[in-house]
Amino acid sequence: MSYRKGLKVWVEEKGEGWVEAEVVEVKDRAVFVLTSQRKKITVLAEKLLPRDTDEDLGGGHVDDMTKLTYLNEPGVLYNLKRRYALNEIYTYTGSILIAVNPFTRLPHLYNEYMMEQYKGVRLGELSPHVFAVADASYRAMVNDSRSQSILVSGESGAGKTETTKLIMQYLTYVGGRAAIDDRTVEQQVLESNPLLEAFGNAKTVRNDNSSRFGKFVEIQFDANGRISGAAIRTYLLERSRVVQINDPERNFHCFYQLCASGKDAELYKLGHPRSFHYLNKSKTYELEGTNNEDEYWKTKRAMDIVGISRNDQDAIFRILAAILHLGNIEFSPGKEIDSSKIKDPTSNFHLRMAAKLFMCDPDLLISTLCTRSINTLEGAIIKALDCSAAAANRDALAKTVYARLFDWLVENINKSIGQDVDSKVQIGVLDIYGFESFKNNSFEQFCINFANEKLQQHFNEHVFKMEQEEYKSEKIDWSYIEFIDNQDVLDLIEKKPIGIIALLDEACMFPKSTHETFATKMFRNFSSHHRLEKTKFSETDFVISHYAGKVTYQTESFLEKNRDYIVAEHCNLLSSSRCPLVSGLFGSLPEESLRSSYKFSSVASRFKGVLEAVRISLAGYPTRRTYAEFVDRFGVLVPELMLGSYDERALTKGILEKMKLENFQLGSTKVFLRAGQIAILDMRRAEVLENAARHIQGRFRTFITRKEFVKTREASISIQAYCRGCLARKMYMVKRETAAAIIVQKYVRRWRLHRTYQQAHSAALLIQSCIRGFIARRYFSVIREQKAALVIQSLWRKRKVIILFQQYRQATVKIQCAWRQKLARRELRRLKMAANEAGALREAKNKLEKKLDDLTLRLTLERRLRAAGEEAKSVEILKRDKMIESLSAECAAAKSDAQSEHDKNRLLQRQLDDSLREITMLRGSKIMTAEAEKENSNLKNLVESLSKRNSSLEYELTSARKGSDDTMKKLKDVEGKCNHLQQNLDKLQEKLTNLENENHVLRQKALNMSPLNNMSMATKAFPQKFATPIGLPNGEQKHGYETPPAAKYLASLPQSLTGSRRTRMPVERQEENHEILLRCIKENLGFKDGKPVAACIIYSCLLHWRAFESERTAIFDHVIEAINNVLKGEEADGRLPYWLSNTSALLCLLQKNLRSNGLFATPSRRSGGPLGIGDKIVQTLRSPSKLMGRIDTLGQVDARYPAILFKQQLTACVEKIFGQLRDNLKKEISPLLSVCIQAPKSSRAQLGKASKPPGVGAQPPSNSHWDNIVNFLDLLMSTLHANYVPSFFIRKLITQLFSFINIQLFNSLLLRRECCTFSNGEYVKAGLSLLEKWISDATDEFAGTSWHELNYIRQAVGFLVIHQKRKKTLEEIRQDLCPNLSVRQIYRICSMYWDDKYNTQGISNEVVSAMREEVNKYTQNLVSNSFLLDDDLSIPFSTEDLSMAIPAIDYADVELPESLHHYPSVQLLVKHHDPQPV
């Protein structure tokens, strides 16, 4: 690649890695670059990598690595670094998720709301997240009915275990089922973690709690996609760690916990870890921030949770103590040759303790350690072991016991969790260490890296198939794409009969084999293999070129670690133990194993089936862009094609053909480019932009220069005019003083001077003519001589120059020929060498790519904490109290700000007065001291400067007054809000008092309702059952809209409850009344003069039948039940506005016409003879006004308890209808909102083509999606008006709907990076203007405060579309631009914003850093630090609000429908149009 001046590149510096640089000069192959630290470096062109010129634009990062313009190592690292600085820890690379451990808590990323956002969303549609990968796996399992696997890989401390927990948490969320003992599968698996970590984790060089085994969690699902079970599988336990560790590492945690257990350690004769051979090889015994004794009790609690009995727990810790004592047994040479014995009494003590803890025979233990039996045809032969063999035998026993104990623990954990053996599909999560390369690499690293090689081959095939599928979907040619294969490395390691593992197994079969013989044989067999190298300074170390780079292995312990002995003596010893757990770990050996004392199985052979996930470079076409993105970026290269053409595919093809690029592919939606082509396009684009910038700069500088010139010229003219005026005035004064003398003297002097002048003039003319003639002649002679000399000199100099030029040209031609000949020979030699080294360059390229993969792999995945649950919402009254307190605080702060502004204004006024006095003094001094022109000019300049200062002070005073006015307005608004909230609080308190009084009255009536003794129990139960629904405020009833009918409570009362006062209605009449009401409810009776007919008829009938005064009736239950049945029908959603109008009208009639103060009479009043039903009828008939049927003349009805309960049930019904209507509207508008948050591709293309030559009009962006929302709102409003829904409900409904629109748009904006762009902000702003127009057209009566409900999305979009964001400070953003948004929300928008229209930079790095510090500072103190908004599901009104907001209804004007005229019960209503008591 050729480099030019000004090109941005990456250069590698020692100690710094890749740094940003810019090319300043190019000389042959040497390139001079200037780094970001202003350091000038000279490097070869081959060592530079291109950098995207627009990487600082668009937020400076991408969420998918495949979108990088240059997919190279520094580009990947820089992108991850930028995202990590913005707390964006997740990044996609195709379908692979890279996570960088943040080492801090980010609970807002893992709460339930975030899981809901990623549920069912296509991978890549939202910001990268581990939930997206888990959801993709779950959806693939459900849709394809095939099991899925998720591989979590990374180095020690990368956060693999936390990521596994988050995946299980999400799968539990979408899987749904709660498991045994009210614990989810996730909880059961996590509860087993302390136990597995104690026995399987240890401190390593990089991590204090490193998992030294691989874990595969298998979550099982049933046919419906619900979790049915789980299982844990463990692999590759590092059993050699039990007997061998290196400083500063540690053994497994359980050993140190047991040594610190106090009394339990004394029971097992344990002390400090330094006294045990298996633990004192490292000097690290404690971990920072960890208490071994506390961890010991946590491990015991974990054993209790998974169901391990106390006896088994004691046996487990005895086994651990026995292993430690076993390691302290030392051997010395015996009496016989090659024999051994226990060394000293200390070793004998440890042997006795080990036998005691194993509960076996000590002598049998000594025999097992020091001898070996060989079975032959003639019998068993006992062979003694020397000291080294006995020590190796001891270590083999310790490793075998520990490994089988670990397997037994895992088996018990799986029994506790519960497995579904009938499960057909599963999702497996593999958590295992990744590629390792340390200073010293032993057998463990060899096996781990071999597993990674296996996975690399598998993953190459997987990604290759995915690439082919994408090429097929885009319909491009892909037959020539090469497949990357690492089969040669796998053959080197595992091929039989000659492979490293095969040679290692063969060496382990021979007792006398050593690592030297193994290394010698390996080098002899693979001397010519290009993947295997021999080190220079060691005869036994070897180097393997893995896909991730070269790794040097030390073979000293290969043979010992590969041997996995199955020793018959060990099994016989421990199977004879009196401890059931110990004997159960070692069952009987098979028959063939008894023929030899021991057999081994290769540990390395068990690593073949374990896979590790890594990133793979894209093959084929590494650069791919959608047509819209490509045209937006490179459309400037072909401005002539951009005019009037909107076919993005044709534009893309035209751009590539004009640039003369080949081997590109045009897919259905994307263009695919070969490696290096995007760099050519970027270079040409940079040239075009630079030329345009130079042209603009030239025009702008011309404009500035001319403006300065005009300004200077005008100033000069002004100064000249002033000076000339002063001179003219002075001359005028002189002339005025001498005018008189001149007039007197002029005639005399005129004659004398005229005569003298004539004489002098004649003499002067004569003398001048003579002198001028002489001078002219002499001057002419000199000029002629000079001209002749110049002609001679020019001819001579021309001759000399011609001769010299001919000599120089001949010499130059000779030198050039010789130099070009030398360069041609050098170029020929270089081309020959390059042709010979092409293979080596390819190999170097492959190695660099593999090194890039390794470095990228080490940055994967993070640790995460389980998301904290949401706290329950506070009570509404407490919320309002807190709001009032906060508003009061704001009010006080606003008052103090106003006072400070007032003080500032007074200070500015004083300064202004001082300036005016100073100006007056200066003017006086100017008049008094006008002595000279210079002093006059100085005074004028001083006056001008003071005038400017005066103007600035006046401007500051004006702005200060304006700010003071704004502050006073805000203060008034805050005071108004406080008063409004105080009124609401008073209303709530009044409502609560009324409900408590009503509840008290009901209790009084229930206690005194009947004098019969057999009613005592009923009177106690009656108010208790109804106290709660009557006394509860509306805020506590929002979760249950269905009100239970009162008949289920009243039916148990005896018939004697109401006594003689109960009106006995015939059964036929009751059925007829029920039928009338049922027809009114089922049929759509419409409206008359805006009044709901059904509500008026129902109320008239109930009033006519005196149902409100009845102490026991079931008619109200039938009304509520009928309304609920109608709302449950198939067409219920369409009738919700109709019934909202009817039920609210009926409730308003009940609220205004029923009174409950005379609901029950006290015993004293009853003894005085209360009015009976007949007396009430007489009083009613005596009132002529009541017979007229006017509502304003009707008195209120004394309602009994069923009527009061009916009013409560009707209130719940109104709330239910309102809630259903609101929820339905949210469901219907949600799809519209999801498509209008992001501008369509056509709109984005048109926005990108907005810059056109003069005279060419740009088409406005399409707002069809927003038009759909407006049409939806218009249809909603017309439907509500058609059903005469009161404006109170319309206002509340529209307000909550716009609040939902604000929440959905704002949350979508924060979750989708492609929405946080400048052009998309313009698109959403245009849509919001349509909503603003709709709100203004709807008027405040129906829209209310809907426009204010959109504050969050309005401020967020306003922030996206402002210019010069880099000049904005944090205070300006928080106070002026986004006052309602939190710092976390502003920080989220800033981290995702990018300008796709003008390619300008966003917020300055200083402001972003300040926001990040503030966010991190308050993260731990917040209850919920999520940046998303929550939806409001409350009912925003009460019964009192309805009664005050809805006007009174004259139900008497509503005539009875003809379909009900034939019913006898309503004949009186037909005749008089007024409900009359009968």
Q: Which residues are the active-site residues? A: 156-157, 161, 207, 210-211, 434, 436
Amino acid letter, residue 232: I
Annotated binding site for ATP: 154-161
833 Cβ contact list (under 8 Å, min separation 6): none
3-state secondary structure of 26: strand
What are the structure tokens assigned to 469, written together? 């599928």
Are the C-beta atoms of residues 426 and 220 closer than 8 Å to each other? Answer: yes
3-state secondary structure of 32: strand
Distance, in Å, from the CA atom of 525 to the CA atom of 1163, rounded to the nearest integer, reads 114
What are the structure tokens assigned to 1082, written together? 């089922």
Whose tokens are 């439907």? That residue is 1279
For the stretch 355-359, contacts whose Cβ atoms lie closer than 8 Å and that sit 24 or more positions apart, written own/partner, are 357/268, 357/318, 357/319, 357/321, 357/322, 357/325, 358/318, 358/319, 358/322, 358/573, 358/574, 358/577, 358/579, 358/582, 359/318, 359/577, 359/578, 359/579, 359/582
What are the structure tokens assigned to 648, written together? 């993005």
Phi-psi region of 60 (alpha: psi -120 to 50; beta: other; left: phi over 0): left
Whose tokens are 């979907």? That residue is 473
Phi-psi region of 15 (alpha: psi -120 to 50; beta: other; left: phi over 0): left
Distance, in Å, from the CA atom of 494 to the CA atom of 506, rounded to the nearest integer, reads 13
Helices 387-417 and 310-327 cross at an angle (nearest 10°) of 160
Closest by alpha carbon to 196, among 317, 309, 307, 302? Answer: 302
Burial class of residue 1067 (count of CB atoms within 10 Å of its CB; 0-12, 13-18, 19+): exposed
Q: Radius of gyration of the chain from Cα atoms?
A: 48
Are the C-beta atoms of residues 88 and 64 closer than 8 Å to each other? Answer: no
Omega into 248 within 30° of 0, i.e. cis? Answer: yes
E strand or H helix that includes residue 59: none
In this structure, the number of other CB atoms found within 10 A of the CB of residue 350 comes to 22
Distance, in Å, from the CA atom of 834 to the CA atom of 547, rounded to the nearest integer, reads 25
Annotated binding site: 154-161
Distance, in Å, from the CA atom of 955 to the CA atom of 1058, rounded to the nearest integer, reads 83
Are the C-beta atoms of residues 573 and 363 closer than 8 Å to each other? Answer: no
3-state secondary structure of 334: coil
Amino acid letter, residue 528: S
Q: Where are the alpha helices (DSSP H) in 86-127?
A: 112-118
Omega into 362 within 30° of 0, i.e. cis? Answer: no
Q: Which residues on adjacent β-strands are paired with residue 1394?
A: 1317
506 Cβ contact list (under 8 Å, min separation 6): none
Are the C-beta atoms of residues 614 and 434 closer than 8 Å to each other? Answer: yes
CA 406 to chain centre: 39
Q: Which residues on adjacent β-strands are paired with residue 152?
A: 431
Amino acid letter, residue 743: I
E strand or H helix that includes residue 218: strand 214-221
For the stretch 657-663, contacts whose Cβ atoms lie closer than 8 Å and that sit 24 or more positions apart, written own/partner, are 659/684
Q: Which residues on adjacent β-strands are paired with residue 373?
A: 382
Dihedral sign of CA atoms 1094, 1100, 1104, 1105 in order: positive
